[in-house]
Amino acid sequence: MAGVYVYSDNTELCGELIALARTSEQEVCAVTMSDQQGSELAKYGPDTIFVLKGQNHAAESYSGAIAKLLTDQDASLFLAGATVRGRDIAAQVAAKMKAGLISEAGSVNFCNGKISAARYMYGGLTEQVEEGKGLTVITVPSGRYAAVNNDSVKSVVVSMTVDTDPRIKITGSSPIVKEGADLSKAGRIVCVGMGFDKKEDLVIAHKLAEALGAEVGCTRCIAEDRGWMPAETYIGISGAVVKPDLYIALGVSGQIQHTFGVRDSKIIVGVNNNEKATIFGVSDYGIVGDLYEIAPLLADAIKNI
Ligand SMILES: Cc1cc2nc3c(=O)[nH]c(=O)nc-3n(C[C@H](O)[C@H](O)[C@H](O)COP(=O)(O)OP(=O)(O)OC[C@H]3O[C@@H](n4cnc5c(N)ncnc54)[C@H](O)[C@@H]3O)c2cc1C
């Protein structure tokens, strides 16, 4: 069955891809390796859900089976969620099919039978539009499209026994213990930058966050260089991409690698003691001053509202 095929190990992201695939006005087929995810995907209303069943339970071992499915069904496009696993599978599928791969697409467009995707280049300084030729593989990060519950389509479920790659073996598993909040869903974020002198001072950011009902994030230097906060709380091109209603940057210089991750925030407030700091160029409100003075004043003012 020709059409757009979507895969993500993250069910919500898969719902987003199904909504995106719907805009192609082609058949929409979801691919999964588990009956459970198959039944969860039905609420998003893909036309068909292919449940691939192999001997091997490692998702990465299914790339050959997915490539075969896409070839057999004459698929026009394979959309994979840009998770760690999705990127891996997308690259393997593209290589096996000798298909073009467009990674980390911010948007995908279908126009006059052509597929194009826009993605950021040079750390977000430019946007490049790429056009797919023949079967194309595209990875799409979460949050670019909204998943839509669609009861009007009764999905057809097709279970298939497939060959999996026996070279990949799961020898054990353990849950990922997340230390920080899920910033991608936060409505308000206070971000800690290198303007903080010592770890104990982060309490200032936490007090402001508490007053606002916000989560606390940080720049990469705070997480990776100083090790003051968990890696999953740093924001930017190589960290979390966020889009809160309010983002307050305390002692953050505003380098492009960081601001890439906050550009979709509704309101950006920069607090920096250097009036020439780059953060002010992307801020809706800028406060030139010492964060040690400003942040407690803001927290008190908010508490008194
Ligand atoms: C390939 C690559 C990928 C990267 N990815 C990321 C990423 O995903 N996320 C990320 O964050 N970074 C990333 N970086 C690093 C990025 O380039 C910057 O180095 C980093 O964001 C700077 O962090 P900062 O703003 O906390 O520190 P700094 O650049 O050191 O800025 C500190 C700021 O605090 C201000 N300040 C100092 N004292 C005070 C005070 N008392 N009150 C108020 N302001 C004060 C200073 O004026 C300064 O502007 C990446 C870099 C590379 C090369």
- Superfamily of domain 183-303 in the CATH hierarchy: TPP-binding domain (3.40.50.1220)
What residue ranges of the chain are covered by domains with CATH 3.40.50.620? 4-161
Q: Ligand 1 center to residue 163 CA distance, Å?
A: 48
Q: Given the CA of residue 277, which atom of ligand 1 is nearest to it?
A: 49
List ligand 1's pocket residues with C-beta within 6 A.
193-195, 219-222, 234-239, 251-253, 255, 257-258, 261, 271-274, 277, 290-292
pLDDT digit string (tens) for 29-86?
A: 999 999 999 999 999 999 999 999 999 888 889 999 999 999 999 999 999 999 989 9
Distance from first CA to last CA of the chain, Å, rounded?
59
> What confidence score (pLDDT) does residue 70 get?
98
> What confidence score (pLDDT) does residue 253 get?
98
CA dist., res. 265 & res. 301, Å (int): 22
| Residue of minimum CA distance from atom 7 in ligand 1 | 236
Is pLDDT of 180 > 80?
no
Residue pair 252/279 in contact by the 8 Å Cβ criterion? yes
What residue ranges of the chain are covered by domains with CATH 3.40.50.1220? 183-303
Any idea which of 118-127, 142-151, 195-204, 206-215 has the lowest mean pLDDT? 118-127
Q: Ligand 1 center to residue 219 CA distance, Å?
A: 6
H helices then E strands: how many in the chain? 9, 15
Over residues 152-167, the mean pLDDT reads 94
> What confidence score (pLDDT) does residue 198 get?
98
pLDDT digit string (tens) for 199-227?
A: 999 999 999 999 999 999 999 999 999 99
* DSSP strand pairing (4-7 vs 28-32): parallel
Question: At the topology level of CATH, where does 4-161 sit?
Answer: Rossmann fold (3.40.50)
pTM for this predicted structure: 0.78
Residue pair 106/116 in contact by the 8 Å Cβ criterion? no
Q: Ligand 1 center to residue 251 CA distance, Å?
A: 8
> What confidence score (pLDDT) does residue 56 get?
87
Q: Ligand 1 center to residue 259 CA distance, Å?
A: 10
> What confidence score (pLDDT) does residue 58 get?
87
Best residue among 237, 255, 283, 290 to mutate for probing ligand 1's pocket (most ligand atoms within 8 Å of CB) is 255
Is pLDDT of 5 > 80?
yes
Q: Given the CA of residue 193, which atom of ligand 1 is nearest to it?
A: 26
